[in-house]
Structure formats: C-alpha cells, structure tokens
Amino acid sequence: MDYLQINGGNKLSGSVTISGAKNAALPIIAATILSDKEIKLTNLPNVVDIRTLLNLLTMLGGTVEHDKTVAKINNGTITSTKAVYEIVSQMRASILVLGPLLARFGECEVSLPGGCAIGQRPIDLHLKALEAMGAHIEIKGGYVRAEAPNGLQGANIIFDKITVGGTENIVMAAALAKGTTTIINAAKEPEVVQLCEMIADAGVKIEGIGTNELTIEGTDREPLSFKTVEIIPDRIEAGTYLCAGAITHSSITLNKINPQHIRTSTDKLESMGCTFDIGEDSMTIHPPKELRPVNLITIEYPGFPTDMQAQFMAVAAVAEGESIIEERLFENRFMHVSELNRLGADIWLKGSIAAVKGVEKLYGADVMATDLRASSALVLAALVAEGTTNVRRIYHLDRGYDDLEGKLSALGADIARKKEQR
C-alpha cells in the first residue's frame, strides 16, 4: 500500500495549475446516460473516482475512450441497467446513475452506495423525489430497484433539506420526464450549475439555474444530444493549495481557477491576514508573517464548504490564538482531529464544534488518513511539521486529488510517494 513521506519546513514558490472538478465531472459523466450519441468531456481530473464511474458505464454496456483528462462516451450501446455492488461500494457518487437510467430505460437496479466514512448521507431524499415522479421503488438485497415502465412524470419536488446529489439526480431524471418538474430547495453549488447548463445546452428548458428553485421541462424519454463539455476548475483543490501557501507562509500562484467559486475560502484566509492578487482565471496568495485565528461554520454553497473544513483546521493549528470551527453538515467529519493532535496540534472537540489553539510548532509522526479531505489536511500539516511525517492510507487522497505529490513537489515541498515494506 502506498503512503506519502513528507519532510517539513520547506518554503513553497511558483505556480500550480488546478485540475477539473471531480464533483462536477461525476454527475456530468452520469448525465451522459441521457444520450444515445457520443459526447466528449474535457478537463477531467485524473483521479480514481473518475475512472471508477467510467468503468461503471463500461459495465453497463457503454463505450468509453478515456485518456487522462479527456473521455469520449457513447451510451447508445448500453445493454444493462444494473449498477453492481462491486463498483458502487467504492464510491457514493455512483448513486447518480439512478436518475438517468430510470428516466431513459424505465427501470434500473443500483446498489446502495459506499465511499468516505464521514457520516450518514442517506439517499432517502432521492428516492422520495423519484416516487413523486411516478417511480415504484423497493430496496431489496442491498439494491435499489426502481421501475417506471411508462416513463417518469413531471412533479413538484420539495427537498426537506438541501442535497447536492439529490438535486443532481432529480435534474437528470426530470430532463427525460413527461411534463414539468419543479425542484424547491435545490442545491446551488457550481457543480450543480454546470450540470444544469449541460442539459440546457442539449435543448432542455431549465429555468432558475443557480437559484434554489429549478423548473425543468422534460423531453418525454427523447434522448438528448450533448455538446462537448469542459469540466469547471476544482474549487476544493484550489482552496487546498491556497491553504498550502498560507500554512507554509509562501506566496504561490494558482492557474486555471474561477475566483468566484472560492470566495468563501479567500474571505476566511483574508481574515487570517492573507492578501491576494486576483486575475481573470488566476490568483496569487501572499500570507502574513503571523496567521490570525479564524472562526468558521460549514454550510451549503455559497457558505463555507464542508470539504474545506479539515484543511482550514490544519492552518488554524499553527495560527496565533484560538480558532473555532463548527461542522454542521456531517457528524463524523472531525476524524482528522486525533491525527492532527498526533503531530502536536492542540485541538479540543465538543460535539460538532472544534476549538483549535494555535501552537508554535508541529512535529513529524506517522498518521493515518480517514477520508479524502482529512488526507489533505494531514499533508498540509506535514508541510510545516519538524522532521518526517508518513501519511498512510492515501488511497483516500487518490480518489479526489490529481497528482497532489507531483504538484506540491514542483512548488518545492519535500514529498515522495513510497510503498509499504511487507
């Protein structure tokens, strides 16, 4: 099994190019099921989750040509509508094939999902919405079995709480439904916006893109013809590299970003004393001599993203004073705290709130990643820890970061991928 060995203390400099957003690419790959013609996707991140979902399409009978950042997909050849446990158990986002498979073929079986152990992310909101659109659904043998032999019907969907995956699944289902679907309390993340724009560019009338109320006029099972889609930049990867600059007190430049998508991260880093030079699609961070503490609460977009909470905790661990971090979205998303404390951080937990008292120095140690974003927080802390840190279980990291060690190494970090000795 691979691990990362990091010798801390190096200053970073130079520039890094941000990859395409995993969380935008996954629903867009699922949406290709709505078409029976070839579609080209560009700027895909070269990460495990993308390869996993493309593999799922192949198992369904789709034709996929994939070369790192570009994929050509033709789902006109799909012969199966069963998404098996072998694939779906590896990644929660596989549940996103449920809506498009059901909408296009009138039936499907999708295994209950797996993925990061950061808390309960039930799919009941997805299922309840599909039932409102006329689907018959049962859960049996670990599979969601859904049927709508006469196609899905437009409906008014009101989500009890904001759900990104639920919004994406229902947008895709509604695209081929008969009649008009209205989604109230829809997610507004940039990744949801790009999915809606992709479907609208294929001729589906969608009103309210980027708001919490979407109205979609379906095609009554007429497959879509998609134009080439370039995946938007990864706002979480961008935020992670900004945190790398902040924690190491280094000025670095990010290329190929959307500054608007990372406003909450830059706002919080500004409150910690950082300044920025911002271009149209680039940004340079200039950290202060001493980082100030930060208070933040995770909440749905456009609020502070839960996917950046762990990275900011690592930065706060070496800031002057005490930071307060509240996690409102996932109950298990503080599993990195004990590992950061192993490096010498001073973090105290009470329920969904973490108090982070900044320390003068962190020290290298063996640590273990527990989920995707926790992995990157440990890497950030290791960049400034005195001595050597070994970050284990980095298969979590490989699910969502495109060549993290290569990009950090190019910036000047002393980081290498190693293999465990048996």
Question: What residues act catalytically?
Answer: 116
Task: Tell whether the torsion through CA atoms of 40, 41, 42 and 47 is positive or negative.
Answer: negative
Burial class (CB in 10 A: 0-12, 13-18, 19+), 338: middle
Q: Which two tokens stand for residue 265?
A: 């991260």
- What Cα–Cα distance (Å) separates residue 281 from each residue in 218, 258, 298, 409? 35, 6, 25, 23
DSSP 231: P
| CA distance linking residue 28 with residue 192, whole number of Å | 9
Q: Kindly list the strands in the beta sheet with 205-207, ordered across the sheet, starting from the edge strand earlier in the chain.
A: 156-158, 180-184, 213-217, 205-207
Q: Which two tokens stand for residue 23?
A: 């969380």
Helices (DSSP H) in 257-399: which residue ranges?
263-271, 309-316, 337-342, 372-384, 395-398
Other C-beta atoms lying within 10 Å of the C-beta of residue 352? 16
Distance (Å, rounded) from C-alpha 323 to C-alpha 310? 13
Q: Report residue 171 as tokens.
A: 């947008």
Residue 157 is encoded by which pair of tokens?
């969907």
Are 390 and 4 contacting, i.e. CB atoms less than 8 angstroms apart?
Answer: yes
CA dist 68 and 43 (Å) reads 9
- Greatest Cα-to-Cα distance within the chain, rounded to the nearest angstrom: 65
Residue 88 CA, chain-centre distance (Å), reads 16
Q: Order of strands across the sheet with 107-111?
A: 82-83, 107-111, 143-147, 136-140
Number of H helices, E strands in the chain: 14, 24
How far apart (Å, rounded) are the C-alpha atoms in residues 374 and 389? 15
Cβ 187 vs Cβ 163: under 8 Å: yes
- Cis ω before 190 (30° cut-off from 0): no
The pair of structure tokens assigned to 150 is: 């006469």
